Amino acid sequence: MGKNDERILMGNEAIARGLVENGCTLFASYPGTPASEILPAVVQFSRETGALIHTEWSVNEKVAYEVALANSMSGRRSAVAMKQVGLNVASDPMTRSAYLGVVGGFIAVVADDPGPHSSQTEQDSRFFAQFAKIPVFDPSSPREAKEMIGPAYALSEKYEIPVMLRPTTRVCHSRQNIQCEAPGVSSGKADFKKNPGRWIATPQFLAELHRLLNEKLEKISHEEAFAPRRSLGGSQEKEVCVISSGVACAHTRELLEDLGAADDVDLYQVVMPYPLNRGFVERVNRTYRKILVVEETYPVIEMQLLNSVTEGRRSGIVPGQGELTPDVIEEVLEKFLGRPSREKAPARGKGVRPTLCAGCPHRASFYVIKDTFPKGIFPSDIGCYTLGMNLGAIDTCHVMGACISQGAGFYHAYARDGKDMPTIVVTIGDSTFFHAGIPALINAVFQGAKFILVVLDNATTAMTGNQPTPQVGIRADGRKGTPVSITDLVTACGVRFVRSCDPYETEVFSALLKEADEYARKSDGGMAVIIAKHPCVLDREVAKFQPAYKVHVSEDCTACRHCLENFECPALVFAGDLDRVVVDDILCIGCGVCDAVCPVGAIVVEKGGER
Amino acid sequence: MKQQIILSGLGGQGVLFITRVLAEAAVLKGLEVLTSETHGMAMRGGTVISHVKVGSFSSPLIRSGKADIGIFLHPRGLEAHRGYIAGRDGIYVNTDKPGEYHGFDATGLAAKLGSPVITNLVFLGHVVKTAELFCDDRTIREAIEKISPSRQLELNVKGFETGLKGDL
């Protein structure tokens, strides 16, 4: 590697680079937008630099946190990464790890998604850090995210405390030119020192551990290296200041310059929103007549300022929800500074909604499920298959793994009423099943719920970029792992009806669904599980090995739109000039599933032929 | 040099690749660069957008009406993203239909080439030739060569050059 190694790095790659350069020895994660690209970059940079790092796609975020934590307890630098709702799953080990502390530096990268763009909430993980009593850093750019890793490890080791790095989508998925360095520090050999009072910490030890934790936080709040930095404004303090953090601070800085207000306002960048530097709080409250706080997404800094004059989310000048885009902050600053408002062109539409890919096996599954049980109740879950909502084939999507428990809840709700039990078909992806579906399935079996569970097994975590799942037996770095069979797991959960099929075989799948429904309705029946197996067609190798049929739509098409509305394959498009549906040959992969869809048989699939 | 560029399209059209090409080109020119991209569910055929800011900026996002150039790989992006560009001069749309923009049928030309998947590079070639971009076509070609996977390199360069020429 040359001295001047400048590269364009995505925020997530910059974080990975920072971890590798700063001696991280174990990195665990579970995929989730916007955090998914960190792990592949750790693998790539560790290969490139020869740094020895154990990397893993753990089965869920809680497991990832615990694996990394024990590595830290052995004295080695560790890190874990997840999206914000992943932290809900990992919150149990995290809150206790604040009390017990760490040994080797420990960084939890938790990526927030203000907006949200790809999440079920827009919760603020800095608030979670405050709740758990751990310090949190809030980078405003990819470069800064990388630069924060070294100091975060140092702080973590100095106080033996986990540290959170909280980037947001706009940092994770931005790219910037960044200087790369060779890996420097490396932790020593694993050396776990037994200490039952700390690592077992029964309740009698906890008040003392809590006191120690409070003492650490008090000291950290006086660490001048992590105090807010003046980002704009000269040496002379003004009467007005804006306090900001994260990417919102980057937006604010640029806006104040563009508005020509850089000389009238002091702008402070808060690099560590919790614990907020004590001296800063006193100085701000003493100095400024007007204070505005701009931060995403909850008022974490604002509430620590402990005064009644600060403007922000509580005063209503900053919207209480949604992403703080530059356009939103511009309006806030215009109001705060008493400037006239600039006219903006409103967006005229939201654009095109996403849809399952052409040839996606989930589309086949959903079409058959809905067609077989038009009046069913369809709880589902998180992944590409949430797009089943476009087909009217899913009714719920809550949090990872919830669909199975919801299926059980719906069963018990209807079971009380006696007859008229609707068919309940739950759909869950393979990765989601491993993540949080297994305890829910055990519970459903044990508590006597009777419904159909379809595991949509496409052998990957497709939505987040095709990360491998445990039944495939390939690990994060490409090495072989021990495959864990879904059929074996389902059987071990106590399910007596377990079948597999390829959902492309629509008639076979429909017949299996009916058989499953009969079984679930029998007095001595129970949970019925069908594993719908067909690999994700985004994988080039898969597309290569499945037959590709020539598909066309004949003039018999009556333009009834049944296929467009109930099948929604992007390769079936309505041609206005012909007044019928046609096949887009560029998008069509020739799966041939649409053969079963047209009510008048106008979709012609030439089976046996090549595309 | 400061320039703000919006790239709009549908998931799967290659907006991300063009974003990376422009970012690499900026670095080759010794300029600072910041981009912002769409990842996640929208990539499954939904409307996606990238912001590219070349020069000294601190925010990765472009405000409405502040983009110098808008590159629309699909006309459906206009409804959501047109407001980023003031006026019509900087708007380039991959389409065969006339409108209040610079239209160019890169999809048709890529099909003539026999490679619909390089529509994005064909269109980029056209934009590089027509718009006042922060760099010239040689820098863009160098960037394409730098980041293309080897099995894709020849085709990518061919697509870009075809777009530059405007025809086969």
Domain ranges of chain A: 6-220, 224-337, 361-539, 547-606
pLDDT for res A344: 82
Question: Considering only CB atoms, which chain A residues are within 8 Å of B10?
Answer: 352
Q: Does B115 touch chain A (CB under 8 A)?
A: no
Q: Do B37 and A175 touch (CB under 8 A)?
A: yes
Question: CB-CB: which of A173, A254, A353 is closest to B36?
Answer: A173
CA-to-CA separations, A507 to A367, A469, A596, in angstroms, rounded: 11, 28, 9
Q: Which residue does chain B place closest to A386, by CA atoms? A: B41
Residue closest to A332 by CA, chosen among A248, A247, A230, A246? A248
* DSSP 3-state of A311: strand
Q: Does A352 touch chain B (CB under 8 A)?
A: yes
Q: Does B47 touch chain A (CB under 8 A)?
A: yes
Architecture category of domain A547-606 in CATH: 2-Layer Sandwich (3.30)
Q: Does B149 touch chain A (CB under 8 A)?
A: no
Question: CB-CB: which of A8, A253, A351 is closest to B33?
Answer: A8
| Averaged pLDDT, A150-172 | 98
| Averaged pLDDT, A99-104 | 98
Residue closest to A121 by CA, chosen among A83, A92, A174? A83
What the block records as the tokens of B124 is: 């980029």
| Averaged pLDDT, B13-30 | 96
Q: Do A118 and B45 touch (CB under 8 A)?
A: no
pLDDT band at A309 (very low <50, low <70, confident <90, very high): confident
Question: CB-CB: which of A176, A253, A356 is closest to B33?
Answer: A176
In CATH, A6-220 is 3.90.1150.10: no
CATH class as words, domain B3-165: alpha beta
Q: Does A315 touch chain B (CB under 8 A)?
A: no
Residue type, A343: E
Q: Does A340 touch chain B (CB under 8 A)?
A: no
Task: Tell me the C-alpha distance between B133 and B144, whole Å.
Answer: 16
- Picking from A348, A352, A362 by the largest number of B CB atoms within 10 A of its own CB, the best residue to mutate is A352
Element (H, E) at A424: none
Number of CB pairs < 8 Å for A and B? 136
pLDDT for res A545: 86
Q: What is the mean pLDDT of chain A?
A: 94
By the 8 A CB rule, do A302 and A179 touch? no
Q: Which residue does chain B place closest to A383, by CA atoms? A: B41
Q: Does A179 touch chain B (CB under 8 A)?
A: no
Q: Do A345 and B60 touch (CB under 8 A)?
A: no
What the block records as the tokens of B91 is: 């708007």
Does residue A162 have a pLDDT over 90?
A: yes
First-residue to last-residue Cα distance in chain A: 47
By the 8 A CB rule, do B120 and B73 touch? yes
Report CA torsion sign: A218, A219, A224, A227.
negative
Question: Considering only CB atoms, which chain B residues are within 8 Å of A176?
Answer: 33-35, 60
Does residue A611 have a pLDDT over 70?
A: no
CA-to-CA separations, A243 to A102, A207, A218, A273, A292, in angstroms, rounded: 31, 35, 21, 11, 6
| Averaged pLDDT, A532-549 | 89
Q: Which residues fall within 8 angstroms of residue B39, CB to CB, at 6 or more apart? A: A33, A34, A36, A37, A118, A173
Question: Considering only CB atoms, which chain A residues are within 8 Å of B45?
Answer: 352, 354-355, 357, 570
| Averaged pLDDT, B50-57 | 97
Give A318-355 pLDDT, tens digit per residue. Answer: 999 999 999 999 999 999 999 999 988 776 778 889 99
Q: Does A348 touch chain B (CB under 8 A)?
A: yes
Of the CA atoms within 13 Å of residue A464, those in its CB half-sphere come to 27
Residue type, A260: G
| Averaged pLDDT, B20-35 | 96
Compute the C-alpha angle A288/A293/A295, nearest 5°: 155
By the 8 A CB rule, do A438 and A491 touch? no
Task: Tell me the C-alpha distance between A514 and A498, whole Å.
Answer: 14
pLDDT for res A586: 85
Strands B3-10 and B47-54: what pairing? antiparallel
pLDDT band at A608 (very low <50, low <70, confident <90, very high): low
pLDDT band at A542 (very low <50, low <70, confident <90, very high): confident
What predicted TM-score, i.e. pTM, was given to this entire model?
Answer: 0.96
One fold for A6-220 and A547-606: no
pLDDT band at A214 (very low <50, low <70, confident <90, very high): very high
Number of helices (H), then strands (E), in chain B: 6, 6
Architecture category of domain A361-539 in CATH: 3-Layer(aba) Sandwich (3.40)
What the block records as the tokens of A98 is: 């604040």
Task: Tell me the C-alpha distance between B117 and B111, whole Å.
Answer: 9
Q: Does A577 touch chain B (CB under 8 A)?
A: no
Architecture category of domain A224-337 in CATH: 3-Layer(aba) Sandwich (3.40)
Q: What percent of chain A has pLDDT over 90?
A: 89
CA-to-CA separations, A403 to A57, A228, A394, A397, in angstroms, rounded: 23, 44, 10, 7
What the block records as the tokens of B132 is: 């006042």
pLDDT for res A343: 87
| Averaged pLDDT, B89-100 | 95
Q: Where are the alpha helices (DSSP H) in B88-149?
A: 106-113, 119-130, 137-147
Lowest mean pLDDT among A304-313, A536-545, B157-166: A536-545
Lowest mean pLDDT among A344-348, A420-424, A485-489, B30-34: A344-348
By the 8 A CB rule, do A178 and A10 touch? no
Q: Does B166 touch chain A (CB under 8 A)?
A: no
Q: Do A355 and B33 touch (CB under 8 A)?
A: no
Give the gap in angstroms from C-alpha B130 to the nearest C-alpha of chain A.
Answer: 25
Lowest mean pLDDT among A357-366, A390-399, B37-46: B37-46
CA-to-CA separations, A591 to A59, A455, A505, A537, A606, in angstroms, rounded: 31, 20, 11, 10, 11
| Averaged pLDDT, A128-144 | 98
